[in-house]
A and B are shown apart, each in its own frame.
Chain A
Amino acid sequence: MATAAPDQYYVPHHTYWPLITSAGMFGAALGGGIYLNGVGGGLILMLVGIAIIIGAAAGWFAEVIHESEHGYYNAQVDRSFRQGMLWFIFSEVMFFAAFFGALFYARVLSIPWLGGEGTGVTTYEFLHQGFQAAWPTHGPAELGGAFETIGAWGIPALNTSILLASGVTITFAHWALKQERRGALIGWMWATIILGAIFLGFQSYEYVHAWRDLNLTLGSGIYGSTFYMLTGFHGFHVTLGVIMLLVITLRCMKGHFTPKSHFGWEAVAWYWHFVDVVWLILFVFVYWI
């Protein structure tokens, strides 16, 4: 029974990967907590946990890929995977929404209040005399000392075009895949990966520059907090995205995926577009206005 009839829903046999992954998560969280408490050994435990997660993920995916390549999955299974990925991305969107919410709240409500607007008159008079409600700000206590911000039209704008370009290249790759042009597919995939990597390179350069030369740190009040948390989580997601792109590119090179059935490929593409869209919003609200 190597291939599934169209009416077979494949239910996998027993598996230990989830359990191992969970144990890895436990180790990572336990180690991370110990590390944050400043106790020795935590970091190592955390890294071991993460290594277990990565190893288990690799094993788990290998199994799924094996099953997929051997035709166990029918169209219905494919749909389950798609819906799973779709709603997973939706939950990621909501995660970012929390941080954007914090940004809007600070800019639209709390900073003006601290500066004496609206219901903040007495707050200003009694507690924060002289505080100028403006953006960017590091708050009434001027946490972290004077800092400068990264202008939108330098590296960030460049990065915007890079990510947009990578959205185009991955679409070219998709066409190539659908038309069974392996060479072009692999070429466009690598182009996408390289664009992603350049993006990350620029982003790291920007961080170093901001932290060292502009004195913009996580401790620079609410501006520094929202800036680094939003761009940082985004950068983390880009990193994940690049890794995922790498994996599917290698799979393409091994001859995986067919014009009809390539959900694994598409999942990564969706993810990449999601990362792209988040960046656009970020560019507008964090860097630009």
Chain B
Amino acid sequence: MRPTIVKAAALLALLVGVSGPALAGWELNMPRGVTPVSHEVYHLHMLALGIVTAIGIGVFSAIIWSLIHHRKSRGVTPAKWHESMTAEIAWTIVPFIILIALALPAAYVMINMEDDSGAEMTVKVTGYQWLWHYEYVDDEVDFYSRLDTSRQAMLGEIPKPDDYLVGVDNPLVLPTDRKVRFHHTSGDVIHAWWVPEFAMKKDSIPGFINTNWAEVQEVGVYYGRCAELCGRGHAFMPITVKAIPGEAYDEWLELMQAGEDEAAEELVAGHFNDEDYQVVENR
């Protein structure tokens, strides 16, 4: 079957070659992220990946070995046995133990993830078809956040900007190194607020409030998306979060409270240069 493989490879190479320069990104893995929880999740993910890869190598090597050596064309006579208590007990117990080794750290991360005690501030996020509403509970600041990509860009009439389908008009602004509690709810159908670099995803359910938390450790621009199918515009309600140092955030809040939105925007913008806006998922 050589020719098939060659052809497939050629096709792929051609494709990637043609579209290569225009399209960046060969990201393979989950981002490490910028919150303590996201780091824990990342490590859990890598642990799980490592374990299944190891088991996979074991199982697949056995298969390959067998395929090579135990074929009729080599003139072997098939063995007669078809049972072995020891083997069967072993391959029941061993996976079980491996799973426990995986379940314990997972439970640990889970418990931590759910523990929002000691949060210093609260943001209420409400999903609508198809935009987000952010309320800084206790601070009397709230605004809507919408997709900032033009229709022409979607239709290919103008080139697609770097922040295609992730940029928004009013990003959520957060302070770094403060524990922020989020309340999620929805005004219509179910949405889900997902920022991979915070390892945060929670459904926004109409009539109920779900809670989770984040403590962003690095200044930066972070992108996310609505992760629950919510109708025609599901792909078009992205999330942009700008995390800035605590003092700057306090200043920003005051400006917002005073209604000086433009000054507030400039203040935030001052913390970032072009590179920060790049849609790199892996930090």
Contacts and interface: CB of A to CB of B under 8 A. Distances in A.
In the complex, are there CB atoms of A and B closer than 8 Å?
Answer: yes
Interface of A: 113-114, 120, 122-123, 126-128, 140
Contacts of B208: 113-114, 120, 123, 127
Nearest to A122: B209
A90 B207 CA distance: 35
A126 B124 contact: yes
B133 interface: no
A168 to B, nearest CB: 47
B211 interface: yes
B211 A122 contact: yes
B145 interface: no
B185 interface: yes
Interface in B166-190: 183, 185
Contacts of A127: 185, 207-209
A126 B205 CA distance: 13
Q: Size class of B's contact patch?
A: under 10
Contacts of B211: 122
A120 B183 CA distance: 12
Nearest to B184: A122
A126 B185 CA distance: 10
A4 B185 CA distance: 67
Contacts of A126: 124, 183, 185, 209
B125 to A, nearest CB: 12
Contacts of A120: 208
A109 to B, nearest CB: 11
Contacts of A140: 207
A126 B123 CA distance: 12
A123 B205 CA distance: 10
Nearest to A140: B207
B206 to A, nearest CB: 9
Interface in B145-203: 183, 185
Nearest to B124: A126
Contacts of A123: 207-209
Nearest to B207: A127
20 contacts: A113-B208, A114-B207, A114-B208, A120-B208, A122-B183, A122-B209, A122-B211, A123-B207, A123-B208, A123-B209, A126-B124, A126-B183, A126-B185, A126-B209, A127-B185, A127-B207, A127-B208, A127-B209, A128-B207, A140-B207
Nearest to A141: B207
A120 B124 CA distance: 15
B208 to A, nearest CB: 5
Contacts of B209: 122-123, 126-127
A114 B183 CA distance: 15
Contacts of A114: 207-208
B137 to A, nearest CB: 9
Given A123-B209, A126-B183, A140-B207, 14 more contacts: A113-B208, A114-B207, A114-B208, A120-B208, A122-B183, A122-B211, A123-B207, A123-B208, A126-B124, A126-B185, A126-B209, A127-B208, A127-B209, A128-B207
B122 to A, nearest CB: 9
Interface string B207-233: 111010000000000000000000000
A19 B259 CA distance: 71
Contacts of B185: 126-127
Residue in B185, B209, B211 whose Cβ sees the most chain A Cβ within 10 Å: B209
B261 to A, nearest CB: 25
Nearest to B205: A123
Contacts of A113: 208
Residue in A114, A120, A122, A140 whose Cβ sees the most chain B Cβ within 10 Å: A122
Contacts of B183: 122, 126
A140 B239 CA distance: 31
Nearest to B181: A122
A263 to B, nearest CB: 42
A126 B124 CA distance: 10
Interface in B100-151: 124
A53 to B, nearest CB: 36
A120 to B, nearest CB: 8
